[in-house]
Amino acid sequence: MPKKFIRRYLPDHHTIKKQKSLKIFGNLLHDPNLWHLNRKSVAGAFALGLFNAFMPVPFQMWLSAGGAILFRVNLPLSVGLVWITNPFTIPPIFFGCYMLGSWVLDQEMQSFNFQLSWQWLSQSMASIGPALLTGCLISSITFATIGYFGMNWLWRSSVKNNWKKRQDRQIEDE
């Protein structure tokens, strides 16, 4: 089930290889492990994509693409999963990370007005930065671990169910 479901939503790997923004990776994109859907590749892509999604850095997609090539996991999945943090979800997710970091560091939460600018970012990193980065790191590790083991479990249970159905059909045919 996971393989068929995932394959339905993934773009063709030939189309992805032709993207101008990915030309910097050159021949590294020709590794077949980057495009195959198997348990190891999918679980690793989920871990990598979810880890990068919770990191408050620019160019998350490039980081996921580079990580997918380095760890030889499914490239489209790892890049696509960083879009969990998109312009609509970034404020609540990173505010949640900030709250978590403040709680872990036992700091009082400070009020602030979020602005999407470099000036605001550089000024506020001194005050809210440690709590935000701590919360983001904890969230990244937590969700990457859950994604990795969750996809492993889902994939194995799907294979087990398919084998059971196949055995049941063979018994019925006899």
106-158 confidence digits (pLDDT tens): 988 887 776 767 787 777 787 888 898 999 999 999 999 999 999 999 999 98
pLDDT greater than 70 at residue 16: no
The token duo for 34 is 């980057």
Contacts of 29 (CB under 8 A, 6+ apart): 16, 17, 22, 69, 75
CB 24 within 8 A of CB 121: no
Residue 138: predicted pLDDT: 96
* C-alpha gyration radius of the chain: 20
CB atoms within 10 A of CB 24: 10
Q: Quick one: pLDDT at residue 145?
A: 97
Q: What global pTM score does this model have?
A: 0.79
Cα–Cα dist 135/98, whole Å: 6
Assign 162 a pLDDT band (cuts: 50, 70, 90): confident
* pLDDT over 60 (residue 160): yes
Would you give the DSSP letter of residue 112? Answer: -
Model pLDDT, residue 14: 66
- Residue 6 reports pLDDT greater than 90: no
Task: Please report the pLDDT score of residue 104 as a whole number.
Answer: 93
Give the DSSP H/E element, type plus range, for residue 93.
helix 90-104
Within 8 A by CB and 6+ apart from 131, the residues are 98, 101, 102, 104, 105, 107, 109
Per-residue model confidence as pLDDT tens digits over 60-105? 888 998 899 899 999 889 999 999 998 899 889 988 999 999 999 9
What does the pLDDT read at residue 78?
Answer: 92
Domain ranges of the chain: 2-173
Q: Which helix (H) or strand (E) holds 158?
A: helix 118-173
Residue 54 has a pLDDT of 93
Q: Is the pLDDT of residue 1 over 70?
A: no
